Amino acid sequence: MIEENSIQNRLKKFKIIDTHLHLGYLSGLNMPQEPDSAIVGQYKKYGISKAIFSHHYAISSVEFGLRCTMHALEKYKGNFFAYLVFNPNFEKKSLEIIKEYVNHEAVAGVKIHPSWHSCYPYDERYSKFWEFADREGLVVLTHSWNPNVSNKSQKFSDPLFFEKIANAHPGLKIILAHAGGRGDYLYKVIDLIINNDNLYVDFAGDIFEPFLIRDYVKRAGSEKLLFGTDLPWLDLRYYLSNILNAEISDSDRANIFGLNAARLFGKIKLFS
């Protein structure tokens, strides 16, 4: 990893948007410092002024999670934007909330987490949500992961499921978080975004694969790749240096760091 002051200096030429982070505490995740304050401090240090979060509580609790999300949007107004969360186990209430709040000026899209909610994205409980998201042209961030790992809940988030959903609902835009997660799925996802206009990826989370960014840009171009961190789960500096050190051009870095997000989330003024 390059030295920290070098990271800061090299980042000055880029506009950076973190499109995948979480606010709030989470049971079982070690957070010695209050997580939201820690994130804000890191963003200031490295010149990141805009970010799109899903609240940890919103992934687990529908109504309380919404209150926490809206409180954070008010507290960090102008710098943070939010994903609402669709929970298929509470499909009616979740969809009601999304319909009511999706046009809020600071709502960027919707987060789903099939593994957390133990529900396949093609399950009937998702059907009305997909129809609504298609009609409204929503951006949907989904957890995606290789199902062939020891954590069996990842079977719900196989990124290959989303090709059929993307084809059936061309009006929506789906971000495959973690670029498929592990092993050969990281490279299967390249073909998905090449072959499907409304599929995108981020590289958030613990996917430490050498040359992955270079290989994505070489095969698919840089226009559908998004900068995400999964904060506060991991260290921001890794994600910044991962893009800075990749064997790609500065124009590709600019796309990944922020320009692609500004285009994708066109309804909100990420660079204002």
The pLDDT tens digits for 83-101 are 999 999 999 999 999 999 9
CATH of the domain at 181: 3.20.20.140
Query: Exposure of 263 by Cβ count < 10 A (0-12 exposed, 13-18 middle, 19+ buried)?
Result: exposed
Q: What is the C-alpha separation between 74 and 107, in angstroms, rounded?
A: 12
- Whether residue 271 is predicted with pLDDT greater than 80 in this model: the reply is no
Percent residues over pLDDT 70 in the chain: 93
In-domain check, residue 19: yes
Contacts of 214 (CB under 8 A, 6+ apart): 246, 247, 248
In-domain check, residue 10: no
What is residue 37's predicted lDDT score, i.e. its pLDDT?
A: 85
In-domain check, residue 164: yes
- Whether residue 30 is predicted with pLDDT greater than 90 in this model: the reply is no
Nearest to 72 by CA among 116, 99, 40, 26: 40
- Amino acid at site 272: S
pLDDT tens digits for 202-219? 999 999 888 999 999 999
207-235 average pLDDT score: 95
34: confidence class by pLDDT, cuts 50, 70, 90 = low
Query: What six digits make up the tokens of 256?
Result: 């990944």
Q: What is the pTM of this model?
A: 0.95
Q: What is the C-alpha separation between 139 and 115, in angstroms, rounded?
A: 19
Please name the helix (run of DSSP H) or strand (run of DSSP E) that holds residue 41, with its range, or none.
helix 35-46
- Whether residue 272 is predicted with pLDDT greater than 70 in this model: the reply is no
In-domain check, residue 133: yes
Domain count, the chain: 1
What is residue 1's predicted lDDT score, i.e. its pLDDT?
A: 46
What's phi and psi for 267, nearest 5 deg?
A: -70, -20
Cβ neighbours of 46 (radius 10 Å): 15
Domain range spanning residue 223? 15-24+33-264
- Amino acid at site 185: Y
In-domain check, residue 5: no
Tell me the pLDDT of the chain averaged across its residues: 93
- Whether residue 2 is predicted with pLDDT greater than 50 in this model: the reply is no
Query: Exposure of 103 by Cβ count < 10 A (0-12 exposed, 13-18 middle, 19+ buried)?
Result: exposed
Bigger pLDDT: 26 or 227? 227
116-130 average pLDDT score: 98
What is residue 29's predicted lDDT score, i.e. its pLDDT?
A: 67
255-269 average pLDDT score: 89
Give the lowest-confidence range in 13-27, 92-106, 152-166.
Answer: 13-27
In-domain check, residue 181: yes
49: confidence class by pLDDT, cuts 50, 70, 90 = confident
234-242 average pLDDT score: 92
In-domain check, residue 1: no
- Whether residue 144 is predicted with pLDDT greater than 90 in this model: the reply is yes
- Whether residue 26 is predicted with pLDDT greater than 70 in this model: the reply is yes
